[in-house]
Amino acid sequence: SSGGEGDGLEIGEKSVFFIGSKNGGKTTIILRCLDRDEPPKPTLALEYTYGRRARGHNIPKDIAHFWELGGGTSLLDLISIPITSDTLRTFSIVLVLDLSKPNDLWPTMENLLQATKSHIDKMIMKLGKTNSKAVSEMRQKIWSNMQKDHPDRELVDPFLIPLVIIGSKYDIFQDFDSEKRKVMCKTLRFVAHYYGASLMFTSKSEALLLKIRGVINQLAFGIDKSKSICVDQNKPLFITAGLDSLSQIGSPPVPDNDIGKLHARSPMELWKKVYERVFPPKSMNTLKDTKDPARDPQYAEREVDEMRTQKDQELEQYKRSSSKSWKQIELDS
C-alpha cells in the first residue's frame, strides 16, 4: 500500500536502484543485503529482485524492490525504466564506485549522476503537475537531513530522493599512496555533501559489509538511520547525509600558487579539474566496453544463433550488392 496522497501513512513498499562502476560489486552488496549465499553473476542490462521483511505478527511484510543497472555508463537510457513519477516518492539511489580504478571514477560518477538527476528532475516536474503537495513533502524530507543553521545550506544542491555513494574495493584502495587517497577521499566527500548524499567505503570485510547492509536496510525498510561518522582518510569513510561540511572537507588538494591557474565556473568543476590532474580519465568508448549479449556463450541457443548467422550473411550480401549498384549508378551518370 502506498498510502493516500500526502496522508502521512507509512509506505510498505520501497525501491532501491543500484548504479555504478562496471564490476564494482553492486550485485555482491545486493546479495549480502538479502542474505543470499550465491556467487554474483555479471549484470547484463537492468535486473530486478526483491526482498521482504516482517514487521510483526499478523502484519503484512514490507517489500523492497531492488533494481540494478549493469554496464557501467553504457546503458544510461535504462535509468528511466524503474524511476517513474509513480515510484519517485519511495525511491532511493545507491551509486557504487570502484575505488581500485581511480582514473575511471570521475567519468563514471559524473555520467551516472547527471543522467539520474536529469531524469529525476523531469519526474519531479511531472509529479508536481498532479500532486504538488507530494513534491513539497519530498523537498522537506531531504532538507531535514541538514540542520537549519548548517552553514552550507545555500551552497549545496541535494538530490530530491535519498542518495548513497559507496566506494567499493577499499581493501585495494587502502594500499594506495597517501596523497592519492587524500585526493580521492576529499573529492568524494565534496561530491556527496554537495548532492546531499551519504558516503561510505566497503570491501569484502564482514564488518564493513554489515555497516553497508544496515544503510541499505534503512533505505529499503525504513530502519533507523545510523548517526556514526568517520572522516579519517586512513580508515573506511562513513558519513551520513548532512553530517559533513565544506569547512571540514577543506579546499581542493592543490598547491596555492596553482589554484588560480585552474579556470572553473563552479566549485564542482574546480574539484573535477583538481581530481583529473592527479587521475587523468582514460579515453575510451563506454559503448564498446559492453559485450554483445547476442554473442555471449552463456545465452547460446542453437536454432536462434543459426538463424542469426544466416540473417547476418544475408545482410552482408545485401550491403555488397547495394554498394555495387550505387557504384554502377555513379559510373552511368
- 43-88 per-position pLDDT tens digit: 778 989 888 887 767 677 788 899 999 887 888 888 889 999 888 9
Q: Does a structural domain hold residue 283? A: no
Residues 214 and 254 in one domain: yes
CATH number of the domain enclosing 57: 3.40.50.300
Q: Does residue 63 lie in a domain region? A: yes
Q: Residue 147 to residues 144, 152, 186, 248: CA-CA distances in angstroms?
A: 7, 10, 22, 16
Residues 96 and 23 placed together within one structural domain of the fold: yes
Q: Is residue 2 assigned to a domain? A: no
pLDDT (average), residues 160-183: 94
Sign of CA dihedral 255, 261, 264, 265: positive
Residue 6 is predicted with a pLDDT of 41
Q: Are residues 141 and 230 in the same domain?
A: yes
Name the more confident of 324 and 16.
Answer: 16
Q: Is residue 331 part of a domain?
A: no
Query: Do 269 and 307 share a domain, yes or no?
Result: no
Q: Long-range CB contacts (< 8 A, 24+ apart) of 240-245?
A: 240/145, 240/198, 241/145, 241/146, 241/158, 241/162, 241/163, 241/192, 241/196, 241/197, 241/198, 242/145, 242/146, 242/147, 242/150, 242/196, 244/189, 244/192, 244/193, 244/199, 245/150, 245/151, 245/152, 245/193
Max distance between CA atoms of the chain, in angstroms, equals 85
Residue 288 placed within a domain: no
* Enclosing domain of residue 253: 13-278
Our count of domains for the chain comes to: 2
Same domain, 206 and 231: yes
Q: Give dist(CA 219, CA 14) in Å, integer.
A: 8
Distance CA 235, CA 242 (A): 20
- C-alpha distances out from residue 134 to 138, 145, 153, 318, Å: 6, 18, 22, 55
What does the pLDDT look like over 20-39, one tens digit per residue?
A: 998 888 888 888 888 787 77
The answer to whether residues 198 and 163 touch, using CB atoms and an 8 Å cutoff, is: yes
- Residue pLDDT, tens place only, 181-226: 999 999 999 999 999 999 999 998 888 888 888 888 888 887 767 7
Question: Is the distance from CB of 44 to CB of 120 less than 8 angstroms?
Answer: no
Residue 5 lies inside a defined structural domain of this protein? no
Domain co-membership, 209 together with 261: yes
Identify whether residues 166 and 48 lie together within a single domain. Answer: yes
Residue 62 lies in a domain: yes
Q: What are phi and psi of 167, to 5 degrees?
A: -90, 115
Looking at the fold, whether 237 and 318 belong to one and the same domain comes out as: no
In a domain, 101, yes or no: yes
Among the listed ranges 173-177, 295-299, 316-320, which one has the minimum average pLDDT value? 295-299
What pLDDT is attached to residue 255?
A: 67
Same-domain status, 299 and 190 = no
Global pTM reads: 0.80
- Same domain, yes or no: 309 and 167: no
* 208 and 298 within one domain: no
308 and 180, same structural domain? no
For 116, counting Cβ atoms within 10 Å of its Cβ (0-12 exposed, 13-18 middle, 19+ buried), the class is: buried
